[in-house]
Amino acid sequence: MSDTFQYNRLNRDDAALLLVDHQSGLISLVQDFSPGEFKNNVLATAACGDYFGLPTILTTSFEDGPNGPLVPELKETFPNAPYIARPGNINAWDNEEFVKAIKATGKKQLIIAGVVTEVCVAFPALSAREEGYEVFVVTDASGTFNTVTRDAAWYRMQQAGVQMMSWFAMACELHRDWRNDIEGLGQLFSNHIPNYRNLMTSYFAKASS
């Protein structure tokens, strides 16, 4: 077995969440997930950021144009988060205010989700890797035109050392141990995974018996 691999887990004390270009116009381009599924995944990712107290940065691109405004639920979840409305930068990393906000968090792990995957996610992810950050992309909260372009973007990022994970895996890796908070995380999962309510109903029934 190779001894070169190092499993660097997400650390809630050293991670920041970047939500990039989840805008009303751009989201209409997402075809690799159904609309309802994708919105649920995005809101679940945001809920994880809120639950774990991750420094969160919101950014949009050319929102006065066809890309449209930020999805309102994200602003509602993070009313005090840095909100960078980029006037035209396609790669968010080209915006000085965005990078300044990231550096101000002092975190070395960046969790990124956005629309579209091969541009709004891949470009800043690659830029962050170039600057030495550990980067984790939330695959099911990032969407694009089809699975062909999505897979190409995933491969490109993986070659640069970006780690791919679902929002559920992100939550579990940040949480580490169920004993840290059974009911809180269970409620979060139940809110976004309907079948998970069955597990929690069973748990509460057993706990009260």
pLDDT at residue 202 greater than cutoff 80: no
Reported as a single tens digit per residue, the pLDDT across 141-152 is 999 999 999 999
pLDDT at 91: 98
- 157 contact partners, CB below 8 Å, separation of at least 6: 121, 122, 125, 126, 135, 137, 164
pLDDT at residue number 55: 98
Residues serving a catalytic function are 120
Q: Averaged over 53-58, what is the pLDDT? A: 98
pLDDT of amino acid 120: 98
**Would you say residue 203 has pLDDT above 80?**
no
- Categorize the per-residue pLDDT at 41 as very low, low, confident or very high, splitting at 50, 70 and 90: very high
Q: For residue 9, what are the contacts with CB-CB under 8 A and spacing of at least 6?
A: 173, 176
How far out from the chain centre does Cα 206 lie?
Answer: 34
Distance CA 84, CA 117 (A): 19
201-207 average pLDDT score: 72
Q: In a 10 Å sphere around its CB, with 0-12 CB exposed, 13-18 middle and 19+ buried, how is residue 189 labelled? A: buried
**What is the Cα–Cα distance from 159 to 147, expressed in whole angstroms?**
18
Summarised one tens digit per residue, pLDDT across range 90-122 is 999 999 999 999 999 999 999 999 999 999 999
Has this prediction a pTM greater than 0.85? yes
CA angle at residue 15 from 43 to 160, to 5 degrees? 95
The DSSP string of 141-159 is G-B-S-HHHHHHHHHHHHH
Q: Is the pLDDT assigned to residue 1 strictly greater than 60? A: no
How far is the C-alpha of 134 from the C-alpha of 54, rounded, in Å? 15
pLDDT, tens only, 165-194? 999 999 999 999 999 998 999 999 999 998
φ/ψ of 117, rounded to 5, equals -60, -45
| 3-state SS assignment for residue 20 | strand
Percent of the chain exceeding pLDDT 90 equals 88
